[in-house]
Structure 1
Amino acid sequence: MVLREAEADLRRRRFDSDAMPTDAAAAHFVAVIASHQRLRGFARDIPRKAGNQDKRDDRRGEDEDAAAAEAPASGEAVSFHSSNHQQQIRMRKWTISVLFLLCLLFLFPDQGRKIHANAKGDSDAPVDPPKVEEKIGAVPNGLSTDSDVSKREAESMSRRTLRANAEKFEFQAEVSRLMDIIINSLYSNKDIFLRELISNASDALDKIRFLSLTDKEVLGEGDNAKLEMQIKLDKEKKILSIRDRGIGMTKEDLIKNLGTIAKSGTSAFVEKMQTSGDLNLIGQFGVGFYSVYLVSDYVEVISKHNDDKQHVWESKADGAFAISEDEWNEPLGRGTEIRLHLRDEAQEYLDEYKLKELVKRSFIFPSHLWASKEVDEEVPADEDESVLMRKYVSENKSSEEEEEDTDKDEDEKKPKTKTVKKTTYEWELLNDVKAIWLRNPKEVSDEEYTKFYHSLAKDFGDERPLTWSHFTAEGDVEFNAVLFVPPKAPHDLYDSYYKSKNSNLKLYVRRGLVDSDTSPLNVSREMLQQHSSLKTIKKKLIRKALDMIRKIADEDPDESSDKDKKDIEEYSDSRDKKGQYVKFWNEFGRSIKLGVIEDATNRNRLAKLLRFETNKSDGKLTSLDQYISRMKSGQKDIFYITGTSKEQLEKSPFLERLTKKNYEVILFADPVDEYMMQYLMDYEDKKFQNVSKEGLKIGKDSKDKKLKESFKELTKWWKGALASENVDDVKISNRLSGSPCVVVTSKYGWSANMERIMQSQTLSDARKQAYMRGKRVLEINPRHPIIKELRERVVKDPEDESVKQTAQLMYQTALLESGFILNDPKDFASRIYSSVKNSLRISLDATVEEEDDIEEAEAKSNTKETGSSSKSEEAPKDDVKDEL
């Protein structure tokens, strides 16, 4: 039975090998040869074992014959048994012989064919026995094995199980709307998704680095302690993976950060996104993650936080997402991995070169890319090739070369190899750059500063920072610092200015980095903020920041006088500096004003940086120094006025006489200007004077005293008539030239603009604000014809009701023109209508027609119209009857 099974197996292998590929057939042929050799040894043992068995059988037969002779009584039974036994022995011998012959017939033809083939090729060559090569049976590179297939099937089954057990969530309504806008938009620049993901990864690394300052155990050990990013491509599966070793996210974080938007500006962002189509808004509003759907249909987020297990977040941008515990993917240790299943039209992001160019902008943390690389590898040379090469060289070399070859016998004994190109994959570091704040400023190029700023400020635009300052501070506290002035202000710079003031760097709108070796790190964050070294750093940084801003103004030709402009414009780079300070002021001017309010120590330094328009600047910005240089001789105060807009201020009655006498007045139209001027009392020994308040001095007129005496009776009468209006006094004005009257406030009370601002506050209380309003003063223009006529009528009849009504109307009109808000607009409107009646010669007793009379008239007119229409309808009917 054993031989039959072996024979069948050998025949099956021999026939199957004919239809197999070369490598597989070779492997089977070797197996057949090995089996043949084993059978050949077994066949050699068969005759020997058979002879021994025959001898044992002969002895057994002789013993049985002897026993039969001794027992003749049982002759028939013994004879039958002996003949039967001998027959079995002969049958066994015959079977063994037949099997032996079959084995020989099966084995010898293969050997005979091989011997015949070798003899035909080279009769003198020895016949080598078959050898088993080491590479036979190995799976070639790129071929799938059963284990790979089973692994993928198991992975697929595991993912299906995960998705089946995952928790399903719905996106927030505004998130779904936002994703729809991003996905269906036609933006050509889709690189923003990579910018946002790298920015998020940098933020996560920043957070874990900050936590490690007080607790080094949060970083862990080994690879987890490396603060880096890794980017990997899978071109076959069309997957782009971005991994960071940052702080990671818990399950709750995944739901909160990737499923909802808690920021109050989301609605504003969605509206602005639809109207403007500016992709830079994505990063500003903190919803940059959703830009991944510009290039992918399916996204997986795998994240591990130190305080939670590893979870998987997945979504197809269909309005829902799922989260499940990750039991299949490789453990991250800590951090986040984002896998983007790219669309067909986004295959460009599987190009290593493109990713390198995009990722190299990230300068803070090391970034690695799983990149391909071709290397030279020495492999054994093919024997046939080496023989042919030796033959070719021997035929073409000269006698001298043959003599030299005698010295190279030892080298020829070395194994021959050849160099081949091999593609390998490894992590390539993309931004191995030393921290620029530790380098000598003279060795750092402008391009390096610009790239560092873009990475530090998460600003991936093309604009350079306006300026920067790289310095080293020495003394009790030593530190290196790089400060930048951004080209644009963050959109939310002032949204929560007074709610969370994290640093004074924000006050002076600088973006920068400070590296100090003398600051203690073994204390809590609160203690560090109160440490004396931090106060010293703060003081020096503010001074450096102010110097940096002043440098922008000094280098700007537009900020210099006409004489200095000629000197500055001689420099070749003056054109690049032109208009830079105006650009800075338009973005960050309000921050300088807030600095004047809050920082008393540096108030004068900040005042030098203020810029504003005046009634004589023709729309250009000017400084306080430039204003003082243009002041009229004898002018002691700096004149200014506050209001809602420049256009309104230019038409203000408070400027009439000042403009006529060629005085320059500063126009403050920003609400924060009112607060600032309460703190900025003087500059360079010059006092500030609000021209809308009492106390304005613009020179004396010899006729003022005479006018004051001639209008004394009118001012006294008018003050009494306005006793109920909180009017403190009525005076002759020295600031009016075209208007009849104006209302000013007391010197230390609120201006009209300040009252308007305070009344607009959400939690304003009119009763508590009453004492800050101060007394109002009505100033009249004695040269105006209305005022002259009013004086004449008051002198004739002080109790004339029409004169009183006119005086009230004049006061209320002056309030409006001066910028105040009327307490009783209805009363003012009634006086205006009465004045219109007089101008149209309509009796003041004329009343409005009653509403009932109007309804009856309308009803009558409707009845008449209905009757006429019914008659017109009957006429055609009569015509139809006549025709019938």
Structure 2
Amino acid sequence: MDIIINSLYSNKDIFLRELISNASDALDKIRFLTLTDKEALGEGDTAKLEIQIKLDKENKILSIRDRGVGMTKEDLIKNLGTIAKSGTSAFVEKMQTGGDLNLIGQFGVGFYSVYLVADYVEVVSKHNDDKQYVWESKADGSFAISEDTWNEPLGRGTEIKLHLRDEAKEYLEEGKLKDLVKKYSEFINFPIYLWATKEVDVEVPADEESSEEEESKTTEEEETEDDEEKKPKTKTVKETTTEWELLNDMKAVWLRNPKEVTEEEYAKFYHSLAKDFGDDKPMTWSHFSAEGDVEFKALLFVPPKAPHDLYESYYNANKSNLKLYVRRVFISDEFDDLLPKYLSFLMGIVDSDTLPLNVSREMLQQHSSLKTIKKKLIRKALDMIRKLAEEDPDEYSNKEKTDDEKSAMEEKKGQYAKFWNEFGKSVKLGIIEDATNRNRLAKLLRFESSKSDGKLVSLDEYISRMKSGQKDIFYLTGSSKEQLEKSPFLEQLTKKNYEVIYFTDPVDEYLMQYLMDYEDKKFQNVSKEGLKLGKDSKLKDLKESFKELTDWWKKALDTEGIDSVKISNRLHNTPCVVVTSKYGWSSNMEKIMQAQTLSDASKQAYMRGKRVLEINPRHPIIKELRDKVAQDSDGEGLKQTARLVYQTALMESGFNLPDPKDFASSIYRSVQKSLDLSPDAAVEEEEEVEEPEVEEESGKAEEPEHEQYDKDEL
């Protein structure tokens, strides 16, 4: 018994969940039997299918009573006297043809969780076919059963009395029990009542002694008509009373037909689930049932706003916003495998009627059935988000919609942009983490581009307006849209009317390492090698014309880590840029990695990849450099100029300068030259002025005199 108590359950609170679910079993059984035997239900209070919880603080007893099917003496021996024996499993097997029984069961040792909080347990039970019996045990491996001749007759049903341990006194508090029912058993099919104390206003007779003011009243005021009966004077006082309080008034919305649930009911249920009672409605929701090997009902919500710490503890958070129920009994919200991390912002409920269970609900998360549930939940969640986009008139044309449909869609205008601003990062993380659903998630991507005029566009929209013959999807990464719009990498693309996607979120760099293509279109970072903008008939001649310059410049930058110098096809107004190899880090990624506290410098050097200086053969600076090199390639001044042009291009391309001091020195030399200053012009030396010695008097330095100000002058 100790092994079961201490090993299977990690949380004492679940004992109440177990007892209530067992009581619900018993009530389901009697309700089913009533279908064929109407007299089985009985009359009066016995016919009330409910669960009652009562406290006896003086004797430290917690009682849970139901008016279910009850247990015979033989049932008590089989079900409570034998470990891991469940009456529900046997009952379901016996009633296989009875349809949907809605029975919680197969928990086996669930009842024994009572010994987490009690050292002595009494089970009083009355079955229609037997007398009332009492089962007693102290969890020492032995039990006793006797005919009950001293307790109140139950009529039918079971009452469990827990004699609580000293360390479990918290379960004698009404507030604690209310919280546990709210958490674990709020959606049980039957009403759960607690015998609770309550303060009420009561009218009682006023004090007989009158105040002096009342005694001074005139006779005319004191005397009324003789034949009119005087009304007694009363006052209102507070009194403590006890009554049955309903604890589970919230209905299980997810069990109803979605067509019968109103938007207001969904919103009310969401606020209850999220403990958010503001005015904001959830962005959207999905209410569905799944059939097959594992049957369940689910209701998923997209919250109106993202939690402030959604991504701060992304990989460390254990708690999910998705609650798992079995037969309306709360199991847990800490199943890491029920939804992937990137969908952890969703709120909702999953309720399974057929989910197989092991000896303990705590062990449920190890069951393979959860994988099936997870797969279906992901598909439904992504469909829900996709529909949210499709219903947004900003996302899709509504030309083919009726007037009523257009009116309804106007109410959802801008809703997907709102979703993207709140949860777009989660979609990107999903593309990185979920290879199976990568293409589905890619359809949900939104971004600004060189042609979007500040609006968000999808990849499908981008592809729909690609130029004829364009094979690649062009994109550029950076820290802001404003920075990217000024990038030299866009010059020829803009001139030739190509659209370029702007990626400005740091996670976009990681995203594009996994999103290699979409709808048979490859992604091309326009700041890397491999950019193809059609054939240039003059390229071969240009390469030959500038070969001397490119070879000379490569040699001049030998210490800068430049792999090669090439003719560029991406520039128009800029002399040159520095691009990276196809699989190396972009300048933006390099900055992100350099900013990491625990970054590995050796890995950075490897991942940086090769750098290529691309030159614009039509730019006057480049043409002049070519001519100068042809005249005198050994001039030191020419080399310094080439280095300065390279360093400027490096900085404009988004890279950090490896030696800012060297760059600054080059700039100052250029300024000196433009001002016709001699390179040897010296800096004027500062004249040194000796400080006067301060005389000390009596071993103490004189205090400096301070000019005195009149208060009126201040």
Q: TM-score range by the shorter chain?
A: 0.5 to 0.7
User: What is residue 600 of structure 1 aligned with on the other side?
Assistant: 435
User: What is residue 332 of structure 1 aligned with on the other side?
Assistant: 173
Q: Distance in 2 between matches of 1:212 and 1:599?
A: 39
Q: Note the residue ranges of structure 2 that are not aligned, 5 or more in a row.
A: 1-9, 24-51, 56-61, 66-113, 118-163, 204-236, 319-335, 693-706, 708-714
The SS at the match of 1:638 is strand
Matched, 1:473 2:308: no
Q: In structure 2, do the counterparts of structure 1 residues 839 and 575 end up closer, same or farther at CA, with 3 Å as the change threshold?
A: same
Structure 1 residue 754, shift from structure 2 partner: 0.9
Matches within 5 A, 1:394-409: none
- Choose from 456, 459, 466 the match for 1:631: 466
Matched, 1:808 2:648: no
- Choose from 493, 499, 505 the match for 2:316: 499
Superposed CA deviations along residues 499-520 of structure 1, whole A, max 9, x for unmatched, are 2453525422311100112223
- Choose from 638, 648, 652 the match for 1:817: 652
Q: Distance in 1 between matches of 2:167 and 2:354?
A: 35
Q: In structure 2, do the counterparts of structure 1 residues 213 and 781 end up closer, same or farther at CA, with 3 Å as the change threshold?
A: farther
Q: Distance in 1 between matches of 2:453 and 2:277?
A: 36
Say whether the 8 Å CA contact 1:568–1:574 is kept in structure 2. no
Structure 1 residue 705, shift from structure 2 partner: 2.0
Matches within 5 A, 1:211-230: 222=54
Structure 1 residue 642, shift from structure 2 partner: 0.5
Q: Distance in 2 between matches of 1:723 and 1:656?
A: 28
User: What is residue 452 of structure 1 aligned with on the other side?
Assistant: 269
Q: Distance in 1 between matches of 2:390 and 2:290?
A: 24
Structure 1 residue 587, shift from structure 2 partner: 0.6
Q: In structure 2, do the counterparts of structure 1 residues 490 and 682 end up closer, same or farther at CA, with 3 Å as the change threshold?
A: same
Q: Distance in 2 between matches of 1:367 and 1:426?
A: 9
Q: Distance in 2 between matches of 1:446 and 1:726?
A: 62
User: What is residue 856 of structure 1 aligned with on the other side?
Assistant: 689
- Choose from 514, 527, 547 the match for 1:712: 547
Q: In structure 2, do the counterparts of structure 1 residues 337 and 601 end up closer, same or farther at CA, with 3 Å as the change threshold?
A: closer
User: What is residue 554 of structure 1 aligned with on the other side?
Assistant: 390
User: What is residue 485 of structure 2 aligned with on the other side?
Assistant: 650
The SS at the match of 2:502 is strand
Q: Distance in 1 between matches of 2:583 and 2:15?
A: 51
Q: Report the AA paired with residue 636 of structure 2.
A: E
Matched, 1:540 2:376: yes
Q: In structure 2, do the counterparts of structure 1 residues 665 and 309 end up closer, same or farther at CA, with 3 Å as the change threshold?
A: same
Q: Report the AA paired with residue 607 of structure 1.
A: A
Q: Distance in 2 between matches of 1:439 and 1:838?
A: 83
Matched, 1:832 2:672: no
Q: Distance in 1 between matches of 2:562 and 2:650?
A: 11
CA RMSD after TM alignment: 3.7
Structure 1 residue 590, shift from structure 2 partner: 0.4
Say whether the 8 Å CA contact 1:438–1:480 is kept in structure 2. yes
Q: In structure 2, do the counterparts of structure 1 residues 749 and 567 end up closer, same or farther at CA, with 3 Å as the change threshold?
A: farther
Q: Report the AA paired with residue 308 of structure 2.
A: H
The SS at the match of 1:641 is strand
User: What is residue 445 of structure 2 aligned with on the other side?
Assistant: 610
Q: In structure 2, do the counterparts of structure 1 residues 858 and 781 end up closer, same or farther at CA, with 3 Å as the change threshold?
A: farther
Say whether the 8 Å CA contact 1:613–1:667 is kept in structure 2. yes
Structure 1 residue 331, shift from structure 2 partner: 4.7
- Choose from 512, 515, 528 the match for 2:351: 515
Q: Which has the higher contact order (CA 8 A, sep 6+)?
A: 2
Q: In structure 2, do the counterparts of structure 1 residues 562 and 789 end up closer, same or farther at CA, with 3 Å as the change threshold?
A: farther
The SS at the match of 1:557 is coil
Structure 1 residue 609, shift from structure 2 partner: 0.5
Say whether the 8 Å CA contact 1:373–1:425 is kept in structure 2. no
Q: In structure 2, do the counterparts of structure 1 residues 225 and 556 end up closer, same or farther at CA, with 3 Å as the change threshold?
A: farther
Structure 1 residue 458, shift from structure 2 partner: 1.9
Structure 1 residue 523, shift from structure 2 partner: 4.5
Q: Distance in 2 between matches of 1:568 and 1:703?
A: 56
User: What is residue 258 of structure 2 aligned with on the other side?
Assistant: 441
Q: Report the AA paired with residue 641 of structure 2.
A: T
Superposed CA deviations along residues 358-416 of structure 1, whole A, max 9, x for unmatched, are x9xx98797989475999xxxxxxxxxxxxxxxxxxxxxxxxxxxxxxxxxxxxxxxxx
Q: Report the AA paired with residue 613 of structure 1.
A: E
- Choose from 686, 689, 695 the match for 2:524: 689
Say whether the 8 Å CA contact 1:373–1:426 is kept in structure 2. no
User: What is residue 367 of structure 2 aligned with on the other side?
Assistant: 531
Using structure 2 for the length normalisation, give the TM-score.
Answer: 0.63
User: What is residue 702 of structure 1 aligned with on the other side?
Assistant: 537
Matched, 1:725 2:560: yes
Greater helix percent: which structure? 1
Q: In structure 2, do the counterparts of structure 1 residues 550 and 331 end up closer, same or farther at CA, with 3 Å as the change threshold?
A: closer
Q: Which moved more, 1:460-469 or 1:589-598?
A: 460-469
Percent identity of the aligned residues? 69
Q: Which moved more, 1:422-431 or 1:507-516?
A: 422-431
Q: Distance in 2 between matches of 1:675 and 1:761?
A: 14
User: What is residue 769 of structure 1 aligned with on the other side?
Assistant: 604
Q: Distance in 2 between matches of 1:525 and 1:432?
A: 25
Structure 1 residue 785, shift from structure 2 partner: 1.2
Structure 1 residue 209, shift from structure 2 partner: 6.1
Say whether the 8 Å CA contact 1:437–1:481 is kept in structure 2. yes
Q: Report the AA paired with residue 703 of structure 1.
A: K
Q: Distance in 2 between matches of 1:606 and 1:214?
A: 40
Structure 1 residue 645, shift from structure 2 partner: 0.6
Q: Distance in 1 between matches of 2:676 and 2:620?
A: 22
Structure 1 residue 497, shift from structure 2 partner: 1.1
User: What is residue 120 of structure 1 aligned with on the other side?
Assistant: none
Q: Distance in 1 between matches of 2:262 and 2:201?
A: 31
Q: Distance in 1 between matches of 2:536 and 2:63?
A: 81
Say whether the 8 Å CA contact 1:657–1:737 is kept in structure 2. yes
Using structure 1 for the length normalisation, give the TM-score.
Answer: 0.52
User: What is residue 476 of structure 2 aligned with on the other side?
Assistant: 641
Q: Report the AA paired with residue 499 of structure 1.
A: N
Say whether the 8 Å CA contact 2:448–2:456 is kept in structure 1. yes
Q: In structure 2, do the counterparts of structure 1 residues 440 and 533 end up closer, same or farther at CA, with 3 Å as the change threshold?
A: same
User: What is residue 30 of structure 2 aligned with on the other side?
Assistant: none
Q: Report the AA paired with residue 488 of structure 1.
A: K
Q: Which structure has the greater CA radius of gyration?
A: 1
Say whether the 8 Å CA contact 1:364–1:455 is kept in structure 2. no
User: What is residue 462 of structure 1 aligned with on the other side?
Assistant: 279
Matched, 1:672 2:531: no
Matches within 5 A, 1:182-581: 222=54, 308=167, 331-332=172-173, 335=176, 370=198, 426=243, 429=246, 432-500=249-317, 502-503=336-337, 504=339, 506-508=341-343, 509-523=345-359, 527-561=363-397, 563-564=399-400, 567=402, 570-581=405-416
Q: Distance in 2 between matches of 1:217 and 1:668?
A: 52
Q: Report the AA paired with residue 608 of structure 1.
A: K
Q: Report the AA paired with residue 348 of structure 2.
A: G
User: What is residue 680 of structure 2 aligned with on the other side?
Assistant: 845
Q: Distance in 1 between matches of 2:691 and 2:537?
A: 68
Q: Distance in 1 between matches of 2:63 and 2:298?
A: 26
Q: In structure 2, do the counterparts of structure 1 residues 364 and 656 end up closer, same or farther at CA, with 3 Å as the change threshold?
A: farther
Say whether the 8 Å CA contact 1:731–1:779 is kept in structure 2. yes
Structure 1 residue 825, shift from structure 2 partner: 1.1
Structure 1 residue 702, shift from structure 2 partner: 2.0
Q: Distance in 2 between matches of 1:676 and 1:651?
A: 23
Q: Distance in 2 between matches of 1:568 and 1:858?
A: 89
Say whether the 8 Å CA contact 1:553–1:559 is kept in structure 2. yes
Q: Report the AA paired with residue 551 of structure 1.
A: K
Q: Note the residue ranges of structure 1 that are not aligned, 5 or more in a row.
A: 1-205, 228-246, 251-304, 312-329, 339-358, 376-421, 860-872, 874-884
Superposed CA deviations along residues 619-650 of structure 1, whole A, max 9, x for unmatched, are 00000000000000010000001011111011
